[in-house]
Amino acid sequence: MRPVEAHLKLAALWLFILLNIIFRDLHQFVMPGFLETVMTGQFNGMEITPELMLIGGVVVSVPISMVPLSLLLERRFARPLTFVAALITTVTMIPPAPIDLDDAYHLALQLIAMLAIVVVAWRWKPAATVGNAHYS
């Protein structure tokens, strides 16, 4: 494989995770009875409230934000932020209830990608300095 800068690897991996989250959620809509269940105001034994929807929005904002932040922030900021975002996202992607085969498949892909994100961030070395400027 050709060498790819850590910024780009991280952005691509965060995007990969996001796409898997989206497609897993889309799969739920075609499951028999899903829409009827959600329309009752309950899902997986939890009441669907505005506060729960806000929490869900905040949680999914973490990997969404990491796509541009991985590209725009310098290593000294992006690297620690990546570890925090990886922890938050991993904890929130583990389902509270039994999962079906497509959920398990997407979860496995997301966990593998998350491991890759942590490895890339861990191995991310500072870029060489050019003159007095430091590029990373």
5: helix, strand or coil: coil
Q: Where are the beta strands (DSSP E) in the chain?
A: 42-43, 46-47, 129-130, 133-134
Residue 22 covered by a domain:
yes
Residue 99 covered by a domain:
yes
Instruction: Look up tokens 């892909």; give the residue.
Output: 109
Residue 42 covered by a domain:
yes
CB 44 within 8 A of CB 52: no
Residue 132 covered by a domain:
no
Percent of the chain whose pLDDT exceeds 70: 92
Encoded amino acid at 45, one letter: G
- The first and second tokens of residue 90, run together, are 């991993």
The total number of structural domains in the chain stands at 1
> Structural domain of residue 51, as residue ranges?
6-123
pTM of the model: 0.85
pLDDT, position 45: 77
Residue 133 covered by a domain:
no
135 pLDDT more than 80:
no
